[in-house]
Structure 1
Amino acid sequence: MSEATTLPAAALLQLIWLASPALPVGGFSYSEGIEAAVDAGVAVDEASTRDWLLDQLVLVQARSDLAAAASACVAWQAGDLARVQALNAWVAGTRESAELRLQSEQMGRSLAQWLRQRHPGDARVAALDALAPAPTWPVAFALAAAATGAPVRDALLAMAFGWAENAVQAAVRAVPLGQSAGQRILAALADAIPAAVDDALATPDDRRQAFAPGLAILSARHETQYSRLFRS
């Protein structure tokens, strides 16, 4: 982006709120596969964990959830419910394991409940609730972000950073890592997020994809992992 813009304070604070691990959607209970990666010996120290999460940002988040959320933001803003339904069905149908689908749907439902309390008169929240079989996380986040009035790129930056902070905290507990190592990994992710967001924004429907076989295999293994702290 060539021109810097100043986000209104109210919208900025709303995005910070949405990106916070304190948002009551249960994100802290999921590791996004990192716990299974630790068990498989893929993420064993700071360097390997950083590389695993950077790959997940670029190969999974940017090409799938961030791209879907970008399109959903535009659809919510335009009141295009048919487009919202199609995007929600795409997200639900591309989860590659039962626990990844559970995560997306549980977090989507929880955010919908939060939005009912925040925006009780917004008909779009009722439309979100009515999505079958459930509202998914990227589509629900898109509505929450659209309600702030923030530009789509800023919304995706918040979504990506929220994902990164949660993933790093899971890694700190699961690998385990020290807090300083966790902050260094988070810094690396923060440096990579703007480019990942721009890639997501530039991704048309026919190039959006959720193909991450390594993550899918580890996630499926995690469902029966002997000892675990997280739901994914």
Structure 2
Amino acid sequence: MDTTTDPVTDPVPPQLRLTWLASPALPIGAFSYSEVLEAAIEHGLVHDDVSAGAWLSQQLRLLARGDLAAIAQGITAWRAGDEPALREIARWLRTTRDGAEARLQSEQMGQSLLVWLRGQPMASPGQLALLVECGEGQPMPHAFVMSLALATIDVPVEQALFSQAFGWAENQVQAALKAVPLGQTAGQRVLTRLASEIPAAVAEAIATPPARRQLFAPMLSVLAARHETQYSRLFRS
């Protein structure tokens, strides 16, 4: 399928689009997921701003070699109309969600982002049709839909990943503020640490080839499974 035809003229400037896609106010439900942070708090692994910063720093490194790398490759593939690469990325994102909550987050946020994207003058009809085809009858992974949204914005891949990584960090710090709990000043210390580490994470994501993408973190998966039956929860993951 030719995804390079049917150009779309977006009246929103690229920098505003990046900010919009990274905003916690984007209506895709990101605020409802802690990505196992809540379980780490329950098990005493995170209890203050120092331990929260260390935990989220490790999560950022995992994100860099996993979903951020997939988004970077997805942006390039969408812009080139590389259908085989797109199908491989979509399949990888689906099969690497190794727990119920991770699948729920990816699928729910992906579907919500797709609904939003269809209402914006960004992706062409051909691109949206190919997106659905790559799903092979399954719900769209959030990172895959995001790669298409970012591919339509005329900015370098690095800049697109910066905005996504910071949006993720901001959302995770907000989760820590509620669940640890942390004060606003402590939360800003955590965000400062993550912001300083984002450039290296983005560089790693861009340098990671498809064969080296991975999300292997068995203890994280154990904590995610425990969160499914945790007695008291604020978040869906």
Output the TM-score relative to the length of structure 2: 0.91
Matches within 5 A, 1:97-108: 97-108=99-110
Cα distance in 2 for residues equivalent to 1:156 and 1:96: 24
**Is 2:31 the counterpart of 1:28?**
yes
Within-5 A mapping of 1:76-155: 76-119=78-121, 121-130=124-133, 131-132=135-136, 133-155=138-160
| 2: CA distance, partners of 1:33 / 1:221 | 9
SS at match of 2:46: coil
Amino acid at match of 1:53: L
The answer to whether residue 207 in structure 2 is matched with residue 205 in structure 1 is no
Asked if structure 2 preserves the Cα contact closer than 8 Å seen for 1:112 and 1:129, the reply is no
Give secondary structure in 1 for the equivalent of 2:235: coil
2-side partners of 1:167 and 1:136: how far apart? 19
C-alpha RMSD of the superposition: 1.3
* More moved, 212-221 vs 45-54: 212-221
In the other structure, the counterpart of 1:39 is 42
Distance in 2, matches of 1:50 and 1:31, equals: 14
- Indicate the residue corresponding to 1:228 in structure 2: 233
C-alpha distance in 1 between matches for 2:125 and 2:149: 11
Q: Which residue of 1 aligns with 2:72?
A: 70
Q: Separation in 1 of the partners of 2:85 and 2:66?
A: 16
CA positional deviation for 1:13: 1.1
Q: 2:161 aligns with which of 156, 162, 166?
A: 156
Q: 2:120 and 2:236 mapped to 1: Cα distance?
A: 27
| 1:4 equivalent in structure 2 | none
1:189 aligns with 2:194: yes
Is the contact between residue 67 and residue 203 of structure 1 (CA under 8 Å) also seen in structure 2?
Answer: yes
1:6 paired residue number: none
Q: Are residues 1:57 and 2:57 paired?
A: no
In structure 2, how many angstroms separate the alpha carbons of the residues matched to 1:129 and 1:166?
28
Cα separation, 2, equivalents of 1:214 and 1:197:
24
Identical aligned residues as a percent: 53
Deviations 1:112-150, CA, capped at 9 Å, x for gaps: 111100037532123223413121111111111111121
Question: Deviations for 1:192-223, whole angstroms, at most 9, x for unmatched residues?
Answer: 00100000100011211111122111111101
Equivalent residue number for residue 181 of structure 2:
176
After TM superposition, the score normalised by the length of structure 1 is 0.93
Gaps of 5+ in 2: 1-11
Query: Following TM superposition, by how much is the alpha carbon of 1:10 offset from its aligned partner in structure 2, in angstroms?
Result: 1.4
Question: Is the CA contact (8 Å cut-off) linking 1:75 and 1:84 kept in structure 2?
Answer: yes
Give the corresponding residue for 2:6.
Answer: none
How far 1:105 moved relative to its partner? 1.2
2:171 is matched by which residue type in structure 1? N
- CA distance, structure 2, for counterparts of residue 74 and residue 33 of structure 1: 30
Unaligned runs of 5+ in 1: 1-8
Residue-pair matches, total: 223
* 1:216 maps to 2:221: yes
Query: Is 1:109–1:129's contact at 8 Å kept on the other side of the alignment?
Result: no
Return the offset for 1:81: 2.3
